[in-house]
Homo-oligomer: A and B are copies of this chain.
Amino acid sequence: MNARRATIADVAREAGVSASTASVVFSGKTPVTDATRQRVLDAAVRLRYTGPDPRAASLRRGRSGIVGVVFQGHLGGAFLDPVTRAMMDGLADAVAPQGAGLLLLRDDVEGESGSGESGATLTTAPIDAAVLIGCNARMRASLEIVLSRRIPVVVIEGDAGSDVPAVLLDNSFAQSVVAEHLKKLGHTRVALVTLPTDVSGERGWINEQREATITVDVMRDRLQGARQVFPDAPAMSARNSSIDEGVIAGREIFAGSDRPTAVVAQSDLLAAGVIRAAEEAGLRVPEDVSVTGFDGVDVDGLAPYLLTTMSQPATEKGRAAGRAVTAMLEGDNAATIEFTCVFREGNTTALPPDS
């Protein structure tokens, strides 16, 4: 019962081979005689050696096999978004073949407790590469850290300059497509329900001043797309992308005297909430009011409604990010890639009521 744990050198000695041979048995990088392999493996069992210490191996190799994923805010909050969940799935898929794992990192709020801790994990985490999700102004600091460490980095849904490969979506165009669909149906009185304009996420009608200070790329781009078709539509921002927030926005919108015949929501969850609010107000969807979403995710509990929406390849986005970082780790350089949404007509849009 030695306190010290066995090392590969111990195993080699026990097996009567050199350390390099023992190492090779575990890595499989070089052919080894079956007999030798067995001797080493047996010795390992005897010494309760369970394989090379990952810490030492990563120092030697210069690789840890870990990809950092940087979120902003609470983890639970981030995973509230079905799109983020799908992206993580794709990301995990893409890095798994390389034997890499995903390290969750928070883009810490500075005000949090001891400010000395801030960003500590991102600076000190043994990551080979990083993926930043939703790269806003607030993520800038994280980006700087990663870049200064000269770690390969990929950004999802955000602009980090031309040196950083990004995984993008045609948000603006896609949003204009659904909006156009409504216009063709004959809708003219349309209201917009948007994602938060910034991280603090204030709820309410968006005036010009606020519209000029939007810091969230996704929100800004989708808004712009809608504006191309309905330049003067009133827009109300939600505090986050959720059904509950959609309900709140929907109530406000349907309470007005000049009820719109259609609502363009910037996410499927918000759209689901708007539909609930419509039902609440005694309006039928789509007969009395049309509602469109964005994302093309399955909204749990929304059946029998099927949203008219723009489906985005969320899982594919994650996978692309994963492929990009692994490519960069191989020394190849990855390019920015823009995915496109596809229009999906559901049963939540129809001709305006008066037509």
Q: How many copies does the complex hold?
A: 2
Is A1 engaged at the interface, CB distance under 8 Å to the other chain?
no
A65 contacts the other chain (CB 8 A): yes
A303: contacting residue among B51, B244, B301, CB under 8 A:
B244
Q: Does A31 contact B (CB under 8 A)?
A: no
Question: Contacting A80 at CB < 8 Å: which of B5, B85, B121, B247?
Answer: B85
A75, A106, A121, most chain B CB atoms within 10 A: A75
- B123–A50 CB distance below 8 A: yes
A353 within 8 A of B: no
Known contacts A102-B103, A117-B96, A301-B247; A125/B65 CB under 8 A: yes
Contact of A66 among B52, B89, B103, B244 (CB under 8 A): B103
Is the Cβ of A50 less than 8 Å from the Cβ of B88? Answer: no
Task: Please tell me if the beta carbons of B75 and A243 are within 8 angstroms of each other in the complex.
Answer: no
The reply to whether A74 and B89 contact each other, CB–CB distance below 8 Å, is yes
Q: For A62, what are the chain B residues with a Cβ–Cβ distance below 8 Å? A: 55
Which listed residue (B55, B58, B301) contacts A244, Cβ 8 A? B301
CB distance from A95 to the nearest CB of B (A): 10
Q: Assuming A104-B104, A300-B243, is B54 touching A124 (CB within 8 A)? A: yes
- Tell whether, in the assembled complex, residue A103 and residue B106 are in contact, meaning their CB atoms are under 8 Å apart: no
Known contacts A58-B55, A124-B51; is-contact A99 B85 (Cβ 8 Å): no
- B65, A92: Cβ atoms under 8 Å? no
Residue of B nearest to A269 (CB): B300
Could you tell me if A79 and B85 are in contact, using CB atoms closer than 8 angstroms? yes
Given the contacts A301-B247, A301-B276, A123 and B51 also touching, CB distance less than 8 Å: yes
Contacts of A96 in B (CB 8 A): 106, 117, 121
**A54: B residues at CB distance < 8 A:** 64, 124-127
In the complex, residue of chain B having the shortest beta-carbon distance to the beta carbon of A53: B59
Residues of B within 8 A of A103 (CB): 66, 101-104
Is the pair A88, B76 in contact by a Cβ cutoff of 8 Å?
yes
A148 to B49, CA, bound (A): 9
A352: chain B residues at CB < 8 Å are none
Could you tell me the distance in whole angstroms from the C-beta of A37 to the nearest C-beta in chain B? 15
Hey, which bits of chain A sit against chain B, CB under 8 A? 5, 48, 50-59, 62, 64-66, 68, 74-76, 79-80, 82, 85-86, 88-89, 92, 96-97, 99-106, 113, 117, 120-121, 123-127, 148-150, 242-244, 247, 269, 272-273, 276, 298, 300-301, 303
Excluding A55-B58, A269-B300, A272-B301, 16 further A-B contacts by CB distance (< 8 Å) are A50-B150, A53-B59, A54-B64, A54-B126, A55-B126, A64-B126, A65-B125, A66-B126, A74-B89, A92-B104, A92-B106, A99-B120, A99-B121, A100-B121, A102-B104, A126-B126
